[in-house]
């Protein structure tokens, strides 16, 4: 658990009650245009099934899911995942995925807190290399650069925005010091 001025970051484990709250964040991000693997409109049922699959994967030790809560209300306002299932020759590496911050919680340090927490989590798990990709030109891209992630390059036309139209993705990596 990690507490900042704006949120409390905690690991999500066997908490089916959080599926609804995580679903709210996912739907809000897709409605806001985030290219995170879903098209608009995203049904609540589809979003809940996604989160159930992610929680099942976390239970199997394939990933870590972190959630950001507002301290006063306990409302979930963001999430990020660390994907641990890698090929045998990459035990030192993990992927950062599905970083999401509810639109009304943006620009308050939630994204930064989530990334710093997932980096700490990776260090604790012995990971020394993290990889991620994000929409080119996005606020997230600027955040990763500010936090010292190294830009590898841009892949044009990588995915669709939720309402259509191709977007490019920027690939980043971060080498971690051992904890």
pLDDT in tens, 29-44: 999 999 999 999 999 9
> What is the per-residue pLDDT across 28-87, written as a single tens digit (0 to 9) for each?
999 999 999 999 999 999 999 999 999 999 999 999 999 999 999 999 999 999 999 999
Q: What is the mean pLDDT of residues 93-99?
A: 98
Superfamily (CATH) of domain 2-127:
Gcn5-related N-acetyltransferase (GNAT) (3.40.630.30)
The model's pLDDT over 125-156, given as tens digits with 9 standing for 90+, comes to: 999 999 999 999 999 999 999 999 999 999 99
pLDDT per residue as tens digits for the range 104-121: 999 999 999 999 999 999
Domain range annotation of the chain: 2-127
Q: What is the DSSP string of 31-82?
A: HTT--SS-PSSPPHHHHHHHHHHHHHHHHTTSEEEEEEE-TTT--EEEEEEE
């Amino acid at each position: 658990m990690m507490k900042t001025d704006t949120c409390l970051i905690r690991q999500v484990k066997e908490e089916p009650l959080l599926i609804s709250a995580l679903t709210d964040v996912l739907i809000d991000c897709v409605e806001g245009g985030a290219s995170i693997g879903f098209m608009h409109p995203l049904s609540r049922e589809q979003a809940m099934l996604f989160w159930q699959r992610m929680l099942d994967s976390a239970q199997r030790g394939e990933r870590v899911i972190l959630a950001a809560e507002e301290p006063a209300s306990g409302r979930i306002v963001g999430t990020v995942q660390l994907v641990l299932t890698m090929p045998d020759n990459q035990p030192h590496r993990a992927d950062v995925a599905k970083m999401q911050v509810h639109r009304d919680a943006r620009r308050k340090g939630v994204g930064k807190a989530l990334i710093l927490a997932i980096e700490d989590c990776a260090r604790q798990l012995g990971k020394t290399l993290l990889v991620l990709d994000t929409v080119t030109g996005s606020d997230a891209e600027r955040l990763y650069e500010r936090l010292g992630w190294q830009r590898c390059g841009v892949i044009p036309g990588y995915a669709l925005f939720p309402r259509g139209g191709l977007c490019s993705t920027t690939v980043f990596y971060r080498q971690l010091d051992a904890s």
